[in-house]
Chain A
Amino acid sequence: MKILLVEDHKLLSRSLKQALEEDGFAVDLAVAGDEADAKARGAIYDVVILDLMLPKIDGLTLLKGWRKDGFTFHVLILTAMGTLEDKVLGLNLGADDYLPKPFELTEFLARVRALVRRGHQAKDPILRIHDLEIDTGARSVRRAGKDIYLTPREFSLLRFLCYHRGKVVTRSMVWEHLYDENDDNTSNVVDVYIRYLRNKIDKNFTPPLILTRWGEGYMIKGD
């Protein structure tokens, strides 16, 4: 689950990035309009969090351009301009959600998660596979009634696999969705995290849920 955070206030972007990462999202940052445009067009994002008052190119212009060019990622507008007109205008231009500043961090994260769910046509925040339950809201995982602790990365990987259940997920897909621009491009990391995940989810349970498709990637069992 990869997110582009477009915000020019340093402290805010830093805090939001950290919060999102702790929730298991990969976060790319952009502080100016042109930079945001380049990143949004050059990578795959589940959600773009967009401030409107930006240096160089303002947020609404960016949004219009993206929607015109067929980009379908979800956009959450995050702005100090919170009047009704501003909200209506933003939503009418193709935004999926609108959050005026200042806001509660929990609300912000909930809205981001909701947008991610919407991207995968999932209404239920709890993903269930066999006896495995993944609560995307509470960021908790249980199997056969036992709580399992996962790091943000592990959780992120598991959630990604679950959203693509029954389908093969390639290493590059995992890479693109789970790692931000600052991570080194070594696809080994994916294998390492798959092993960690297997140790926590499959080791003491049957049947194994994470399957390996040699030469292709990984897959979580469908129903």
Chain B
Amino acid sequence: MAYRSASRNLEGRLSIQKELAQTTYKDRCRDEENRLDDALLFQAQTLARLVQFHVDWGKLRFLELHTLGLLTSPANSSAYVQVPVWALQGTRSFAVDLFRRATPAIRFDPAELLTRLDGQVAEFFQIDTAWNASYKSNSLEAMSMEINFASFAPNEVFHWEYEDMQLSESLKVRRVVLKASRFLLGPTPLTAFPRNRNSGPNRGVELPPPLRNNNGADASFRPAIFIQCAYDLAKRDALFASFAQQRDEDILNFASEHKKDLEGFRGMLAAINLLTFLAGGGICFWLVRLGLAPLNLLTVAVSRINEKDFNLDITDKQLPEELKPIAIRLGLTLDQLKKAFAREKQATADISHELRTPLSAMLATLDLALRKTRTVEEYRVMLEDCRESCTNMHKDVERLLTLARLDAGADPLRPELFDLSHLASDCVKMLSPLAQSKGIELQFEGEPNLEIQSDPGKLKEILVNLLHNAVQYNKPSGNVFLRLSSRPGSIIIEIEDNGIGIEASKKNRIFERFYRVDASRSHGDSTNCGLGLAIVKGYAELLGAGLEVTSELGQGSIFKIDLPAPLIKEAYAAIGV
């Protein structure tokens, strides 16, 4: 961009320089032309001054005219202005008369001529007179410069014109034709030639009025001489050509200068670009490093994290604002991970304990049995103990597997149409022996024949677990109620006991795996390892049922299941069957 605008500027400069060269050339040509023209004119004037007329009369010798007073030029010394003007004035008519008769020949003092015209441009000159006297320079040889006396400024006494003309076929010249009426001079001599380029006389110069014959007899007589000077145009053209060459050289110089400038500029631009790029790259690198430094810090802190130490060893002050949310989020995630690990560890320990302890018991019992010979009764007791332990372990393993399947989502719902009331009363019957052995009254209250579409296996598991807990964690001679009630769109199952209840602080944790409210197996056999409620919760979620617990320590608990099952009867009624 910058290069383009700069190169445009340079182009502009170049074209201006070219124009300037062209103008200079033209000026020089014009000046040269003018100079040549002036020189021509000057030579013509000089010739006019130097021309001599040779007449036969001796008396007239004094009239030998060098130059006329009116032709006084700055270059001219006063030596030639010796013609007594008064005499001329006084003898005007006389002189005219003389001239008419005598046709004087034209002569030059060659030395004078040479002196005067030394180093001048005119190669050719020709002097003509109205009376047919003529003089030609040798260089003209056979050629002559034609002029029409009659039509050339007939009314002027003093006039010149420039003209290019073909002198011969091969020679083109520029000439000046100067008409000077030598004898008809005005009273006031001109002090300088008017310097008009094209033709005289110039305005501003007061010329004497054209002479008219007072008698009228010589009205047609113009004692004028016509002086022509010319130079070979080829020489001028050669000069012009040298100017043109100069101009072309200048232009070439300018162009090469321009090219050099442009190249220099381009190089500079490239250097600047490179420097800028390098500097930019360096700054970018530095900035990126500076920006990434906290990330490095974070990386180091994160890399220190392992399964034993979940603390993100980094303080807020070490991090910029942008990274703080990440660090905080990371910290939270690590906390969760830590808890998950702790849970996992705890679960492993729990599972180990739950399985290893009964296994140890069985092993110890069997070792004991084999230690020595025992009575049949002793063997029977030991074997029964082992069998019970086996059964309990089997239950635990089944529960663990159930939870594992729930976690893996590998326990699909198997919905079918069934009688919930029937299922509930079955569950009650199933747990009645246990309840009776503890002196607990187990009752079922609810509508009969509640048909629903659900998974009976999972519902049964839920009910058995909850009823078992209600019986297990109850006071002697307590009560347990299983209630069923239908609402539009859902069925409410309530299991209520007036047992030991649950502390409010522990209520949220009872559905955690292996969690026991009093961490004790003292409430009976070891069938409950703290997985029952976890399974209840998992199944309830799977069935889309709500699960709520209300409990008061020492008063009892109510587990409420909100089963979103439209009653089939209602559904049939709704569609009018």
Contacts and interface: CB of A to CB of B under 8 A. Distances in A.
Contacts of A106: 367
Most B-side CB within 10 Å, residue of A11, A14, A32, A101:
A11
A82 B349 CA distance: 9
B364 interface: yes
Interface stretch (B139-147, B186-194, B354-362, B433-441): B354-362
Nearest to B392: A11
B360 A102 contact: yes
A14 B522 contact: no
B365 A81 contact: no
A104 B356 contact: no
Q: B-side binding surface: helix, strand, loop or mixed?
A: helix
Interface in B506-520: 518-520
Contacts of A9: 357-358, 360-361, 521, 526
B86 to A, nearest CB: 152
Interface stretch (A15-23, A154-162, A205-213): A15-23
Nearest to A9: B357
A54 B353 CA distance: 11
Given A53-B353, A82-B352, A12 B519 contact: no
Interface string B351-387: 0111111111111110110011000000000100110
A55 interface: yes
B67 interface: no
A12 B359 CA distance: 9
A151 to B, nearest CB: 13
A146 to B, nearest CB: 22
A180 to B, nearest CB: 17
Contacts of A31: 521-522
A11 B363 contact: no
A108 B363 CA distance: 12
Given A12-B357, A80-B356, A22 B371 contact: yes
B362 A11 contact: yes
B562 to A, nearest CB: 34
A79 B357 CA distance: 8
What is the size category of the interface that chain A forms with chain B? 20 to 34
Most B-side CB within 10 Å, residue of A19, A54, A56, A101:
A101
Interface in A1-35: 8-12, 14-16, 18-19, 22, 31-32
A108 B520 contact: no
Interface string A57-101: 000000000000000000000011110000000000000000011
A14 B389 CA distance: 13
Contact of B361 (A12, A79, A82): A12
Nearest to A100: B356
A80 B352 contact: yes
A105 B382 CA distance: 15
8 contacts: A12-B357, A12-B361, A15-B364, A19-B367, A51-B357, A82-B356, A102-B359, A102-B363
Interface of B: 349, 352-365, 367-368, 371-372, 382, 385-386, 388-389, 518-522, 525-526
Given A9-B361, A19-B367, A103-B360, 18 more contacts: A8-B520, A8-B521, A9-B358, A9-B521, A9-B526, A11-B358, A12-B361, A14-B385, A16-B364, A19-B371, A55-B518, A55-B519, A56-B520, A80-B356, A81-B353, A101-B357, A102-B356, A105-B368
Interface of A: 8-12, 14-16, 18-19, 22, 31-32, 51, 53-56, 79-82, 100-106, 108
